[in-house]
Structure 1
Amino acid sequence: MKMSRRKVLASTSTALGIIVGGCTEKQNPSKQTRNTQSQGAAQTTQTRTDATTSQRSSNESEKKSIQTTQSTTSNSSLPPIYISQMVPNPKGDDETKLNNEVVTIEMNSNTSRDLSGYRLEYSTGKTYTFPDIVTDVPPNSNITIHSGSGENETSQTTNSEFTLHVGSETQLLSNQDGKVSLLNRNGEIVHEVSYSSVKEGEIVATAE
């Protein structure tokens, strides 16, 4: 519908230009024809450009929507520590692939932070407290928290990627409506994300 509307507006604009030209001055017929053709060509070029841009934007949006569910939150409005993305419904059986169910925390800060004692609260009722391994988290780091069991570790190459495991034996993130809250040591909510039903393998992201 948008593409058709743009064509109609371009055609209307071209027609009005011819009428105004005819009323204000007498032009040589051949010159007037050339002007009209030039105007029509310009309008056609603009219409094609608009249509191409619209189609490109539509394709990019469609590709993104297949992989993620984006919120309207921008990086500038996010707190220094925030939940950047989640995978509530990983591919396969939820109960046997718990480590594919993840929550990622990112640092939106210029200074290092001690996140030990911070907590994640899941709407399913589970609470996970961050261990001492995250006592010194550098700026622009990320912390990936898996629902299942495993070893908590820090990247040996960048020292800015942390991997934590809740150790749960059951699913923590609902495949339907859910919410995850990040709390500091005082129990104050630092950031929380709510989501609706998600498809298998879909990522719930709070920022691009």
Structure 2
Amino acid sequence: MNKFIAIVGSNSKKSTNRELLQYMKQHFQTSAEIELVEIKGLPLYKKTPDQFVPQRAKDIAKKIVDSDGVIIATPEYDHSIPAALSSALAWLSYGIHPFVDKPVMITGASYGSLGSSRAQSQLRQILDSPELKARIMPSSEFLLAHSLQAFDEKGNLADKKVSKQLDGLFKDFLQFVNISKQLNNASDINKQKAKDFSWDKD
């Protein structure tokens, strides 16, 4: 059975993105083991001369490396991902590179009607950057709109069509992960390139 790390892209105490990942953990438990990971507790990203990386970031990085894939649920603030998530991804590409060639599924929930669509688009760009270089599942978006009303009293998605869409996308992700395991011929080179990359160099 595949083991996935599910990153809650918010440090809010009450987050519908956390609720979404909790639903996925329960709903897909017979297909995959999903562990929720919080970005709370990470300090704001800051470069240092000794390239210091907080232990919390190292712990998250190890979980990612040891996993078969990553699911990220992001809210949308001002048409972008939260600053806390951006900072967390910066730490996870600073001297450590757990995302290189790692399969990633992007999801998102928002109170409005767009379901974090712009934030998800931005997140794709970030994950494709030279320092991260994740393997993002293509042509897939799960946009949970009006997320405050999306869950019933048991924490399940109330709309059957929305639930069915997520079921299909998750099955696609399982296939994507299995295919990705065969696409490892350049993995060592990709990891070295991420390690060597610097915006400070010409």
Relative to the length of structure 1, the TM-score reads 0.24
Q: Which has the higher helix share?
A: 2
Specify which structure has the higher proportion of strand: 1
Give the alignment's TM-score, normalised by structure 2: 0.24
Structure of greater Rg: 1
Pick 1 or 2: higher relative contact order, CA cutoff 8 A, min separation 6.
1
